Amino acid sequence: MPPLPTRPVALLDLDGTLMDSAPGIVASVSAAYAHVGLPAPTDAVMRSFAGPPIQWSFTTHGVGAEQLDAAVAAYGAHFSGAGVWDTRVFDGVPAALATLREAGVLLVVATAKPLRWAAPICDEVGLTPLLDHVVGAPDDESESKGDIIGRALAWVHSAVDGADVRAVMLGDREHDVHGAAEHGLPCLGALWGYGGADELRAAGAVELLDSPADVPAAVLAHVGPVAR
């Protein structure tokens, strides 16, 4: 029996990896703390909310269980009205994605941002034509990053018709690394994002990348050459 054809795949975090969404997120986090009557953390801490599931971020930074639902709702109301659009694509990302697509790599976003925001913002900033699919969190944001990556992989397997999938994750936070590891995937660390080298290295990122220009070569090194 001939071997299965291979299909190289890059799973991509969104906030802090493809897009600098911190300004809108910080404004919405600040509004949520004000709504529940708590002092807002420092700007650096609020920037760290970009990427991880929002419920984890609030509980990690002082919001008690009795206030969590109200904080999440206030964040969502502010973010959907204004914060979601206060973002930009990192320099070099479109070129990196175009290079990978030209090389035959399937590009799938796997983000903890709810899909109701992730898909429209990818449209707005011009990323959608460079991507094959976008997988986001459910509206209640109840999934871990590992859950989201699992759904992204399920979509990939349904889309490639039995091919042997070779996948790598690209992300800027420990949640990306740990979520990828749950599925036996390596994770490349994006140093232009919000996590930093120490966090990514401690989590087990297989390689740290300095800029989006480094992404194509690193991805191809992990998923192997694309069969033509």
Domain spanning 22-85 has what CATH number? 1.10.150.240
pTM score of the predicted model: 0.86
Query: How does residue 2 score in pLDDT terms, banded at 50, 70 and 90?
Result: low
Q: What are phi and psi of 68, to 5 degrees?
A: -65, -50
Query: How does residue 225 score in pLDDT terms, banded at 50, 70 and 90?
Result: low
pLDDT at 51 over 80: no
pLDDT at 85 over 70: yes
CA distances from 75 to 21, 63, 68, 79 (A): 14, 13, 11, 6
Per-residue pLDDT at 48? 85
13 is catalytic: yes
- Residue range 149-165: average pLDDT? 93
**From CA 167, how far away is CA 48, in angstroms rounded?**
26
**From CA 21, how far away is CA 17, in angstroms rounded?**
10
Query: How does residue 226 score in pLDDT terms, banded at 50, 70 and 90?
Result: low
Per-residue pLDDT at 3? 63
3-state class (DSSP) for residue 105 = coil
- Residue range 38-44: average pLDDT? 92
Could you list the beta-strand ranges (E) of 99-222: 106-114, 133-137, 164-171, 187-190, 207-209
**From CA 218, how far away is CA 222, in angstroms rounded?**
7
Give the number of other CB atoms < 10 A from CB of residue 191.
Answer: 15
pLDDT at 154 over 60: yes
Let me know the angle formed at the C-alpha of 145 by 119 and 47, rounded to the nearest 5 degrees.
75
Name the CATH code of domain 6-20+87-223 (choices 3.30.110.60, 3.40.50.11820, 3.40.50.2300, 3.40.50.1000). Answer: 3.40.50.1000
Per-residue pLDDT at 160? 92
Element (H, E) at 219: helix 215-223
pLDDT digits (tens, 9 = 90+) for 65-76: 999 999 999 998
C-beta separation of 96 from 213 below 8 A = yes
Domain map of the chain by residue range? Answer: 6-20+87-223, 22-85
pLDDT digits (tens, 9 = 90+) for 89-148: 999 999 999 999 999 999 999 999 889 889 999 999 999 999 999 999 988 777 899 999
Least trusted range by pLDDT, from 12-16, 69-73, 81-85 = 81-85
227 against 156, higher pLDDT: 156
Percent of the chain with pLDDT over 90: 72
Query: How does residue 227 score in pLDDT terms, banded at 50, 70 and 90?
Result: low
